[in-house]
Amino acid sequence: MKKLSQTVVSAIVVGGLLAGCSSQSDSGSTASTSSSSVPNQTDTAVKKEEKVKLTFWRNSGNDTENAAYDKLVASFMQKYPNISVEMTPIPYSDYDTKLRVSIASGSPPDIMALDAPTVGSYANAGALKPLTTYFKTDGNMEDIPKSTLATYTYQNEIYMAPLTESSIAMFYNKKLFQAKGIPLPSKNPDEPWTWDQVLEAAKKVNDPANGIFGIDPAQGFGNAGGTAYFKYPIIWQLGGEIMSPDGKTSKGFLDSPQTKKAVQFFSDLYNKDKVSALEYPPDPFPNGKLAITIDGSWSLANLKEKFPNFKLGEDYDIAPLPKGTTQAVANGSWALGISAKSKHSDEAWKFINWVTGEEGQKTYAGMTKDIPSRYSSAKAFPELNEYPKNIFVIQNQKYGRPRPITPIFPQMSDAVNKMFEDVTIGKRNIDASIAEAVTTIDKAYADVLAQQKK
């Protein structure tokens, strides 16, 4: 679950240090006016006699990710010798706190890496410079799925440049399916099973008396941000929503009949149909104790390394994420943005465009094996255009959806996860649970507004 922990889990707490950024006299005005000026994007933007130093903060990754960034920074400075980039990798557990402190103290880095769910918090606080004009000038926007750009857009401004994507799909035990005579799902990313088909298969395979379970639909109930990432698509697939498009309220969305239907379907897997369990034995899927699991692209390498006798194509296969009335998958991963206080925003964009452009993404993904966010970069890798990875790539490109873009994402995520827990584990009344979640989310947004007015 390494990739999930980096891609989904948000530690940003709206209010306190970060919310205080919006009260600084020049942060808000910079964010509101910066997109109106067209940047100079020629290679001669930095005059020969000028020397510009950029500071770049990012969460430290594994050795391969760090080496990829090192290579990109070195190649950029070779191309632009008048621009130096001082990169500071910071441990993931400390990253958000240190970044918030730097912003609140008025000394943030020029360039910062952010996880997609946190963009609304930083943009709302006036900590980021809009990148819309830069993208329109030379960012090759057409090379990025619109739904991906929407993930980094807040109040009609793009604030981050995406580098990679992650995605989830349906992993199923091929031998368990064949033993019960269940037709195998299509491998075509455009032809997913419906959730009714998944339920039917799960019922046929389910055998709790012998320790075999039908399906784990959303990686349990552990980490709120992580497991909510798996639950949002079920809501969308069955026609529901979580928040309003502007990220201000859940009323009329989370409490819609379609969302209630999705939550009820999820709960029924555990309590009515009993094809899901609250506790599974260790590694149930590769150990043949779980017929279906919804998991991420990052798990392919993990299964290959840790369970070499559990082979793709022989023991298990992958199918697109199930659908209800529509196909949907959550998108968004780490991306790069520019501080609203940077005095060298044009040069900072030059670096960001270098890293997240077609060639930069090919360099990074070629080393890390991540999924590039650009069409052209993904097309350059044969394995991303073939089964099974093409399922993850095409799902993101065609059916990806932003998680709610809101300054209260952590509170929203916690409330949604608690709602699922209350209904499924606590067997609480669904209307009462959803009403409480709506109240919690809307109060959190009201608190942010009140903080900003102080």
245 and 286 together in one domain: yes
Q: Is the pLDDT of residue 31 over 60?
A: no
Domain count for the chain, please give it: 2
Last residue of a domain, one of 275, 296, 328: 328
Q: Is the pLDDT of residue 406 over 50?
A: yes
138 and 209 together in one domain: no
What percent of the chain is modeled with pLDDT above 90?
A: 85
Over residues 409-435, the pLDDT tens digits come to 999 999 999 999 999 999 999 999 999
The domain spanning residue 396 has which CATH number? 3.40.190.10
List the single range of 49-58, 260-269, 318-327 with lowest mean pLDDT: 49-58
Q: What is the DSSP letter of 265?
A: H
Q: What is the C-alpha to C-alpha distance for residues 14 and 17, in angstroms, rounded to an integer?
A: 8
Which residue range(s) make up the domain with 265? 168-328
- From the list 148, 149, 325, 167, the residue with the least C-alpha distance to 235 is 325
Q: Would you say 338 and 348 are in contact if contact means Cβ atoms under 8 Å apart?
A: yes
Over residues 104-159, the pLDDT tens digits come to 999 999 999 999 999 999 999 999 999 999 999 999 999 999 999 999 999 999 99
Q: What is the C-alpha to C-alpha distance for residues 439 and 134, in angstroms, rounded to an integer?
A: 39
Q: Is the pLDDT of residue 161 over 90?
A: yes
Predicted pLDDT of residue 224: 55
Confidence grade of residue 225 (pLDDT, cut at 50, 70, 90) = low
Predicted pLDDT of residue 310: 98
Over residues 351-388, the pLDDT tens digits come to 999 999 999 999 999 999 999 999 999 999 999 999 99
How many CA atoms, within 13 angstroms, populate the side-chain half-sphere of residue 389?
18
Confidence grade of residue 44 (pLDDT, cut at 50, 70, 90) = very low
Q: Is the pLDDT of residue 163 over 60?
A: yes
Q: What is the DSSP string of 127-169?
A: -B---HHHHHHHS-GGGS-HHHHHHTEETTEE--EE-EE--EE
- Is 425 a member of any domain? no
Q: What is the DSSP string of 324-389?
A: SSS--EE---EEEEEBTT-S-HHHHHHHHHHHHSHHHHHHHHHHH-PEESSHHHHHT-GGGGSTTH
Residue in the structure block whose two tokens are 């960001």:
352
- From the list 354, 364, 387, 425, the residue with the least C-alpha distance to 78 is 354
Helix (H, G, I), strand (E, B) or coil at 114: strand
Q: What is the C-alpha to C-alpha distance for residues 397 and 242, in angstroms, rounded to an integer?
A: 21
Q: What are phi and psi of 356, to 5 degrees?
A: -100, 0
Over residues 274-299, the pLDDT tens digits come to 999 999 999 999 999 999 999 999 99
List the single range of 24-33, 190-199, 325-334 with lowest mean pLDDT: 24-33
157 and 36 together in one domain: yes
210 and 349 together in one domain: no
Predicted pLDDT of residue 344: 98
Q: Record the pTM.
A: 0.88
Strand partners for 52: 83
180 and 44 together in one domain: no
